[in-house]
């Protein structure tokens, strides 16, 4: 929708809306650029503290995906006036402790009365001009590296229907509230061609944004893609969120699913994620070092899930 608004022509705007990135990068001087982003959503889990932590990790992630360092945040809150205010306190505490972990200070915010709770943050970060990493820039032959397992959409949908074990939900919460900080720091120190975080459009949707914008294609290998425990069971039991269904439709005609790729697998690759991992396109020359350093930095999941192909149409092929 933003693309229908007047064009942005400021020469200091290094990354705007044209590349489909979730954060803007604006040069303030020779050595300093701002990274600006905002994100909020309705409760993804019942526990208010976890919800706050996940929403904060998710909002910060768009700065990390640009290779930036978040420094300041403002809370954005919608909360029903008739609910106990202690619940909101737990949400904000979850967000505040996550921000603290990230070295980010929350310097204010705004709350409105709202029938459906909403929480998130506007985040300001910094980056050295030229060192920002955008959604586009992937090159044929690059390897695709993913830093979190998939499945948070189907698992949280199953959890809302009380159809997952506490262990499965716990793991999903842990994954969603993990900061993409270390992954981002390693990414910047090694150097990659493109990066996005995997969120509402799912792995395939965000990868389509990358391939289309970079005028390349991609081949994904299902066997190399990491999934959260319980993800397949949730899909098989039919717990597919609305956003995931729309992502699957949007992939139609732009993704070549190999004959062996089941419908369940297609759903999972399109599953709308919350606070997902970073998806990076890295030159094969640097891939080994990237993977090694990500693992050494303690990034819990590091998977080479496929490669960038020379296909100007942005098509994704998924093989077993």
Interacting residue ranges for Co ion, rule: CB under 5 A = 22, 39, 62, 197, 199
Instruction: Report the C-alpha gap between 289 and 190 in whole angstroms.
Output: 7
Give 37 or 157: the residue with its C-beta nearer to Co ion. Answer: 37
CB of 293 to Co ion, least distance (A): 23
Burial 272-288 (b: 16+ CB within 10 A, else e): bbbbbbbbbbbbeebbe
**296's tokens:** 């050494």
CB of 264 to Co ion, least distance (A): 25
Give 57 or 159: the residue with its C-beta nearer to Co ion. Answer: 57
CB of 256 to Co ion, least distance (A): 25
Question: Which long-range contacts (C-beta less than 8 Å, at least 24 apart) are formed by 289-297?
Answer: 289/190, 290/145, 290/186, 290/187, 290/190, 290/192, 291/145, 293/186, 293/189, 293/190, 294/145, 294/147, 294/182, 294/183, 294/186, 297/182, 297/183, 297/185, 297/186
CB of 163 to Co ion, least distance (A): 27
E strand residue ranges, 83-212: 105-113, 118-127, 143-146, 194-197
Q: Which residue is nearest to Co ion (CB)?
A: 22
279 within 8 A of 146, measured Cβ to Cβ: yes
Give 50 or 62: the residue with its C-beta nearer to Co ion. Answer: 62
Give 65 or 173: the residue with its C-beta nearer to Co ion. Answer: 65
Give 80 or 242: the residue with its C-beta nearer to Co ion. Answer: 242
Give 22 or 293: the residue with its C-beta nearer to Co ion. Answer: 22
């Amino acid at each position: 929708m933003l693309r229908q608004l007047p064009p942005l022509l400021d020469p200091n705007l290094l990354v705007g809306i044209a590349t489909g990135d979730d954060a803007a990068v604006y040069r303030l001087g020779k050595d300093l650029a701002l990274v600006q982003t905002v994100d909020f959503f309705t409760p993804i889990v019942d526990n208010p503290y976890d919800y706050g932590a996940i929403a904060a990790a998710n909002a910060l992630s768009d700065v990390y995906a640009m290779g930036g360092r978040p420094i300041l945040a403002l809370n954005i809150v919608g909360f029903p006036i008739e609910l106990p205010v202690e619940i909101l306190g737990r949400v904000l505490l979850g967000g505040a402790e996550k921000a603290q972990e990230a070295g980010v200070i929350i310097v204010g915010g705004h709350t409105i009365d709202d029938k459906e709770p909403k929480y998130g943050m506007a985040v300001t970060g910094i980056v050295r001009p030229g060192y920002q990493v955008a959604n586009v820039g992937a090159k044929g032959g690059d390897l695709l590296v993913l830093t979190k397992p998939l499945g948070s959409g189907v698992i949280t949908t199953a959890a809302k229907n009380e159809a997952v074990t506490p262990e499965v939900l716990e793991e999903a919460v842990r994954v969603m509230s993990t900061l993409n900080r270390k992954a981002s720091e390693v990414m910047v120190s090694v150097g990659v061609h493109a990066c996005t975080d995997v969120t509402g459009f799912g792995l395939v949707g965000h990868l389509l944004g990358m391939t289309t914008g970079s005028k390349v294609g991609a081949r994904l290998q299902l066997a190399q893609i990491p999934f959260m425990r319980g993800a397949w069971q949730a899909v098989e039991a039919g717990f597919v969120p609305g956003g995931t269904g729309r992502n699957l439709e949007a992939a139609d005609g732009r993704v070549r699913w190999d004959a062996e790729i089941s419908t369940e697998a297609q759903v999972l690759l399109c599953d709308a994620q919350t606070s997902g991992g970073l998806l990076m396109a890295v030159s094969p020359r640097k891939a080994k070092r990237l993977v090694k350093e990500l693992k050494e930095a303690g990034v819990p999941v590091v998977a080479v899930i496929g490669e960038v192909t020379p296909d100007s149409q942005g098509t994704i092929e998924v093989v077993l």
